[in-house]
Structure 1
Amino acid sequence: MDKQKAENQIKALVELLNQYGYEYYVLDQPSVPDAEYDELLRELRQLEKEFPELITDDSPTQRVGGKPLDAFKKVQHNVPMLSLSNAFNEQDLRDFAKRASGGTEEAVTFVCELKIDGLAISLTYENGKFVRGATRGDGNTGEDITTNLKTIRSIPLSIKERGTLEIRGEAFMPHKSFLALNEAREEQEEEPFANPRNAAAGSLRQLDPKIAAKRNLDIFLYGVGEWEGSAISSHGERLEKLKELGFKTNPEWKKCSTIEEVIEYVTYWTKERPNLSYEIDGIVVKVDNLEQQEELGYTARSPRWAIAYKFPAEEAITKLRDIELSIGRTGVVTPTAILDPVKIAGSTVQRATLHNEDLIREQDIRIGDTLVIKKAGDIIPKVVRTLTEKRTGEEKEFQMPTDCPACGSELVRLEEEVALRCINPNCPAQLMEGLIHYVSRNAMNIDGLGEKVVMQLFQEKLIHTMADLYRLEREELLRLERMGEKSVTNLLESIEASKENSLERLLFGLGIRFIGAKAAKTLAMEFKTMDALQQATFDDLIAVDEIGDKMADSIVQYFSEDKVTELLDDLRSLNLNMEYNGPRKSEADNDSIFAGKTVVLTGKMEEFTRNEAKELIESMGGAVTGSVSKKTDILIAGIDAGSKYDKAQKLGIDIWNEQQLKTVVEE
């Protein structure tokens, strides 16, 4: 192909793919199947590979690229990014409205917007091209995070607007991304993020943009720093114009003619915010007319024409009764606060993680203290502060032990870690936690082997390693408490059935550090057999998508251990399957009713577990997601389906019951 033809084709592909991306990530209304988009993207990549000099900055292939940065450069904001003054009650809002109208009865129209709990950023476009993205920083100087912001798919890399345009918004992490990220971090023995805002900020300040790209961030744009030649007269018009240019704006904004309407909006969202798929921490109220904004002007720190109503933080006061220590399967010692039961954010809380010894020292937490707690991000119970003024003198300082409470071995703090760790491979607590993990639903999924049963078998010295599970005998089980003929029969059948599990379940069950369920499946699909994986080198491993250096190091180290070789040989001799027998990447059934479909599961299933249903749908070419949207094709509803069912009805989505799923599977 000659260069001119390639240039024309690249230009057409970039324009088409950016349009499809806008429809998918901004409008939530995809117009083509994912497979078609992927095929066009592959075509573009091939052309760019042949003609690298024709790559443009707005190509979708440039979303993640380049080497990790050594540090972020400083960026000077031409127009300061000021913070907002706060309102905490209705009277504060009424006082703001009175100031905005100059103390008169002059009518002032307001625009109300949801206050997204994320990281404030600015995007600069020159002659239609995205050239720079920055954090707010101190308001005058921020950090250049352009490469990380390019990984957010809802940010357009080019727009149809000439001149210089600097717009502002909030980058955030949706709840779904936050929960998935923390689940992955916990699987890898990393400390989870406290809330979505910290997670978003931490993601955008990664020096390696490939890390930011995996975090699935999003953005809403709401303001302007500079806009050459704009003739817009109101904030509402500005939001509409931003949307027209291809920017993602929050659809829940509302124009209010009176402060009473503003208060109604605030009241509504105070109640409804738990139903959003992202975190908000208040409502922003702005004077709509831009001329009036200019007349009202600014203080040194904030505009006079806007105010942020802050939701009251739902906190509770309770008593710290004790601090318990638990030993994880990798030896990490985690302190947990045992609290007097207290209701907060809709549920009763009796425990809160204290993460590590450093946090206890920093907050001066003592047994017997009165504590203020809240749910960070309305999800994770967290200690906010200690009410030292309520101390009686009977409180006791907590001392972390120097030896493991389970085995007596010396606890150590590894380099660059804040957690204490027991490194005794024969520590009974680690062995037992490892067994509990091995039989769990996402690992070997052995019915009848819950945590209490595993503990009972371990304490009775019937099991010590994973292989011992497959040597259990009926007579010794029948001698145990609460073990009858039927339950023993079912348990032994379930243990026997687990021998046929696909390789990824065994890999995850082994508890290799940093290898979660997703990474285990990736490895199983790539290497196919345990033998091939055992022989894989570091270079072989990092060549696999989604397997990084830490994972590869951990796998190589794990399989180099003699005791691991002995365990795997033992499991082979007991006839455990050591091969991947799930669907290959290219073997999804294209004739299946689920092929290319997005499916959501909700409610309680009777015929299948949630994971069984998910695996069946995926094996037939479907994708299972956690929330209902316009992109959902089928909702499969079990008992007590709830809000997802209601939303699917409103959107006109095809709704199945569990029997319909069973029929398709049987066919």
Structure 2
Amino acid sequence: MPFNRGVDVAKRINELTAEVTRLNDLYYGAGDSPLPDADYDALKDELAALVAEHPELEPAGSPLGKVNAPAELTGPTVRHARPMLSLAKATSEEQIRTFCERFGGQVFRVSEKLDGLSLSVVYADGTLDYVATRGTGAVGELVTAKVRHVIPGLPAEIDAPGRVEVRGEAVMLRSVWSAYNEAHPARTLTNPRSGAAGTLVLKDPEAAAKARRLLRFFAFGADRDGAAVEVPAGFETVAQFVCADAAEVIDAVHAIGARRDGLDYDIDGAVVRLHEPAAFDAAGFNSAEPRGAIAFKYPPEEKLTTLLSVEWPVGKIGRVPPRAKVAPVFVGGVTVENITLHNPRLIRERDLRIGDTVAVVRRGDVIPFAGRSLPERRDGTETEIVPPAHCPSCGSELEVRGTGEERWCLNLQCPAQATRRLMHWASRQAADMEGVGDTWIEKLAEDGVLRNRSDFYDLTAEQLLGYERMGEVSARNMVDSIAASKGLGLRRALIGLAIPMASEGTAKRLCLAGYESIEDVAAATAEDLVAIRDIGPKAAESIVAFFARPEVRRELAALRERGVHLDVLPEDRPVDAAAADDSPLKGASVVITGAFTDPRSGAKISRPDVTRLVEQAAATTASSVSANTDYLLTGDNVGAAKTGKAEKLGVAVVEQDRLWRWLTEAGVI
């Protein structure tokens, strides 16, 4: 709560001191982060502002001017050879310019500021000696045995004599965090940042490793016997830019921020520091911060707001998930008003209530969700969230399924399900009816004009002109868009059918496995499908059960009668192995980055389409560059992070002109 000038200043300073200290103890001591980062920063900023006005009121235990740390370290400790300090922060370009102007004529380095746990990794004559947390800045807690279990990629040996210290950040990848929470719904981790800190305070790291609660370590600096050196081979490093002046520094800060949503790990800012080690050391430091570095903080991805209401919409396959409205809040660069509450079990276990103060999380393109509530802020007016017993659309009794206690409507004739299925069929990843909006689908379904997917192809412009606010141009665009969608092919048809447990990847794998038509897939047995890579027994059984339904068979026949193409398209077929024999892509592991232009049409081509072409040429795609990567395939506007890592690991960088030649030689295009 912002400070009210009518409140006693000394009292407020003491309150803030106690709260910031408590939060430091929770995060750095117990791995728990009850407040979003932005709200923690706001409390500390308020305390700093009050103390600046009234320095005589600062208490002896003030957390200001110190490294963020727990009150005491509970495990074995070690004194750092050099203090591990916090960084001063900036939130505006002007603050960055001021910092750069302070060091006129110097070269700067800008790197990602990872949102994890700082570690010092020390080697003696090439062998790992110990790993320590930042701790108090001067003294760290030893966590060597723990990291051997939970950071499997940390090198046990390096090719360097003497005492080498590597500093960096231990993070939990977003994908690891999501997978862990999905597998442990009763013990979910609030966010990747807390997941990283909490993992290193666990008493049983071996159990954490077995549960796949693993971390990655990214190095940002190293020294040998006190002198700065390059980070040794074998370590992953953060993306870095070397800049000559403030303008280049600001461009680099924005470039890192632009890639933020596409990363598999959280960053909350960019670190700007003097590039030359001697200049950095000469700048010196104060009690808690080096003077030669500053951290630019991006807009927060987690903020507090009020949970206003909960709705239970019915999905295309009958799932009835909780969706909440919240008081508008700016988080992750956008204003959020609607969030997901995941499932009824998490609502119950997190004790979420209407009227609660909740932490809203938004990362990348992930649907914003409520990470947790703050019960201590309740005033007694909050109300319980009660899952429905009957379908909000058709009134059928809902079935409770799975560990998430999700509600499902089993009525295949449920109007809401039917409408959602129609919207999904018309969506871009399926039939791609660009001129058909969800509002019109809802209206036409409500009037009984659209009941099945095949009904789209019976619509006429004359029929649509009978509706208010439907003009001739809009009616013709809608009909033309529907007609153009008839050539969607097997892969996109499988996506559009919304088969339970069958993802877009499943549709692609069925095409690459050699299935020629929708009827071929419908005739497959569970045994046939399980034989395909990455299609498990449950997905196979779901596909077989879906196509066994008489109404599905009738709908496929109706689509065929209306000229809808349900056979595999050439671009979705498996590549001729003989044709690919001479292609460097055959059997290669590749990473794709940048923007691509189709050489056949000159139009932009999406990353998923490039991926599909490359996989047709018998390559395997991955999301990040590693020592196992054969090629980094690059389009336009490629950032320095992946190319720099490829260069460091000796991975060949292939520009799109050469890629198109390889795909042509392989017979893919």
The TM-score range, normalised by the shorter chain, is 0.5 to 0.7
Cα distance in structure 2, aligned partners of 1:211 and 1:538: 30
Cα distance in structure 2, aligned partners of 1:82 and 1:400: 33
Q: Match of 1:117?
A: 115
Measured against aligned partners, the alpha-carbon deviations of 1:271-319 in whole angstroms (never above 9, x if no partner) come to 9863454423589999x99xxxxxxxxxxxxxxxxxx999799465544
Measured against aligned partners, the alpha-carbon deviations of 1:558-606 in whole angstroms (never above 9, x if no partner) come to 22333322322332333322211132443699999x9999563399xxx
1:322 partnered with 2:340: no
Cα distance in structure 2, aligned partners of 1:560 and 1:375: 40
> Which of 555, 561, 568 is the equivalent residue of 1:567?
555
> Which of 433, 450, 459 is the equivalent residue of 2:437?
450
Q: Which moved more, 1:452-461 or 1:617-626?
A: 617-626
SS for the counterpart of 1:567 is helix
1:233 partnered with 2:228: no
1:586 partnered with 2:575: yes
Cα distance in structure 2, aligned partners of 1:442 and 1:647: 29
SS for the counterpart of 1:383 is strand
SS for the counterpart of 2:477 is helix
> Which of 490, 493, 505 is the equivalent residue of 1:503?
490
Letter in 1 for 2:534: E
**Matches of residues 21-40 of structure 1 in structure 2 within 5 Å?**
none
Cα distance in structure 2, aligned partners of 1:427 and 1:454: 16
Cα distance in structure 1, aligned partners of 2:124 and 2:531: 38
| Runs of at least 5 residues in structure 2 that lack an aligned partner in the other structure | 1-28, 34-39, 53-61, 70-81, 88-110, 135-140, 243-248, 279-293, 648-652, 658-668
1:525 partnered with 2:508: no
Cα distance in structure 2, aligned partners of 1:574 and 1:498: 12
Letter in 2 for 1:347: V
Contact 2:359 2:370 in 1 (8 A): yes
The Cα shift of 1:417 comes to: 3.4
The Cα shift of 1:415 comes to: 3.6
Letter in 2 for 1:586: V
Q: Match of 2:322?
A: 335
Query: 1:645/1:312 Cα in 2 relative to 1: closer, same or farther (>3 Å)?
Result: closer
Q: Match of 2:406?
A: 419
Q: TM-score, normalization: structure 2?
A: 0.57
Cα distance in structure 1, aligned partners of 2:540 and 2:66: 57
Cα distance in structure 1, aligned partners of 2:546 and 2:148: 37
SS for the counterpart of 2:368 is strand
Query: 1:428/1:109 Cα in 2 relative to 1: closer, same or farther (>3 Å)?
Result: closer
Q: Which moved more, 1:275-284 or 1:364-373?
A: 275-284
Q: Match of 2:395?
A: 408
Query: 1:202/1:581 Cα in 2 relative to 1: closer, same or farther (>3 Å)?
Result: farther
Cα distance in structure 2, aligned partners of 1:333 and 1:582: 38
Contact 2:632 2:643 in 1 (8 A): no
Cα distance in structure 1, aligned partners of 2:605 and 2:485: 15
> Which of 449, 452, 455 is the equivalent residue of 1:462?
449
Contact 1:432 1:458 in 2 (8 A): yes
**Matches of residues 262-661 of structure 1 in structure 2 within 5 Å?**
274-275=257-258, 277=260, 278=263, 279-280=266-267, 314=300, 316-375=303-362, 381-383=368-370, 386=373, 394-529=381-516, 530-583=518-571, 584-586=573-575, 600-601=594-595, 615=609, 619=613, 631=632, 633-635=634-636
Contact 2:319 2:408 in 1 (8 A): yes
Q: TM-score, normalization: structure 1?
A: 0.57
Letter in 1 for 2:477: N
| Runs of at least 5 residues in structure 1 that lack an aligned partner in the other structure | 1-80, 100-106, 186-190, 225-230, 255-265, 290-307, 636-642, 657-666
**Matches of residues 43-82 of structure 1 in structure 2 within 5 Å?**
none
Cα distance in structure 1, aligned partners of 2:640 and 2:221: 34
SS for the counterpart of 1:527 is coil
Contact 2:270 2:295 in 1 (8 A): yes
State percent identity of aligned pairs: 31
Cα distance in structure 2, aligned partners of 1:247 and 1:333: 45
Q: Which moved more, 1:313-322 or 1:620-629?
A: 620-629
Cα distance in structure 1, aligned partners of 2:364 and 2:592: 28
Cα distance in structure 1, aligned partners of 2:325 and 2:436: 27
The size of the alignment, in residue pairs, is 512
Measured against aligned partners, the alpha-carbon deviations of 1:86-137 in whole angstroms (never above 9, x if no partner) come to 99678989844899xxxxxxx989797966335899999999999xx9x99x
Cα distance in structure 1, aligned partners of 2:198 and 2:575: 35
SS for the counterpart of 1:342 is strand
SS for the counterpart of 2:326 is strand
Measured against aligned partners, the alpha-carbon deviations of 1:180-204 in whole angstroms (never above 9, x if no partner) come to x89xx9xxxxx99975558999999
Query: 1:493/1:345 Cα in 2 relative to 1: closer, same or farther (>3 Å)?
Result: closer
